[in-house]
Amino acid sequence: MSGVLSDTGIRRLIDSRALTGTSDILPDQIQPASLDLRLGHTAHRLRASFLTGKDATVAERLDELEMHRIDLSDGAVLEKGCVYLVPLMERLSLPAGISAAANAKSSTGRLDLLTRTVIDGGTEFDRVHGGYDGPLYAEICPRSFSVLVRPGMRLNQIRFRDGQSVLDDDALRALHGQSPLVDSDALIQDGLGFSVDLRPQGSTLVGYRAKPHTGLIDLDRIGAYDPADFWEEVHSETGRIILDPGAFYILVSREAVHIPPDYAAEMAPYLAMVGEFRVHYAGFFDPGFGHAAAGGAGARGVLEVRCHEAPFVLEHGQVVGRLVYERMSEPPATLYGAGIASNYQGQGLKLAKHFRG
- In tens, the pLDDT along 48-73 reads 999 999 999 999 999 999 999 999 99
| 337 or 65, which is more confident | 65
| Single-letter residue type at 296 | G
pLDDT at 320: 87
Q: If you ran DSSP here, which 8-state letter would residue 112 be given?
A: T
Q: Which of 110, 157, 34, 112 is nearest to 302 (CA)?
A: 110
Question: Which CATH superfamily, name and number, covers 3-162?
Answer: Deoxyuridine triphosphatase (dUTPase) (2.70.40.10)
pLDDT at 296: 46
**Taking residues 187-196, what's their average pLDDT?**
91
Backbone phi and psi for residue 52, each to the nearest 5 degrees, phi listed first = -60, -45
Q: Which long-range contacts (CB under 8 A, 24 or more apart) does 27-30 make?
A: 28/340, 28/341, 29/154
Q: Which of 335, 304, 341 is nearest to 320 (CA)?
A: 304
Question: Please, which pLDDT band fits residue 248 given cuts at 50, 70 and 90?
Answer: very high
pLDDT at 82: 97
Is the pLDDT reported for residue 2 higher than 60? Answer: yes
How far is the C-alpha of 329 from the C-alpha of 138, rounded, in Å? 27
| Pick from 36-50, 69-83, 156-170, 336-350: least confident | 336-350
Please give the angle made by the CA atoms of 64, 66 and 72, to the nearest 5 degrees: 155
**Which positions ≥6 away from 134 have C-beta within 8 Å?**
57, 91, 92, 119, 120, 121
Is the pLDDT reported for residue 344 higher than 70? Answer: no
Range(s) of the chain covered by CATH 2.70.40.10: 3-162, 169-327
**Taking residues 102-128, what's their average pLDDT?**
94
- Is 333 buried (19+), middle (13-18) or exposed (0-12) by CB count in 10 A? exposed
Looking at domain 169-327, its CATH class is: mainly beta
| Pick from 122-136, 159-173, 251-265, 297-311: least confident | 297-311
User: What's the first-to-final CA gap in the chain, in angstroms?
Assistant: 43
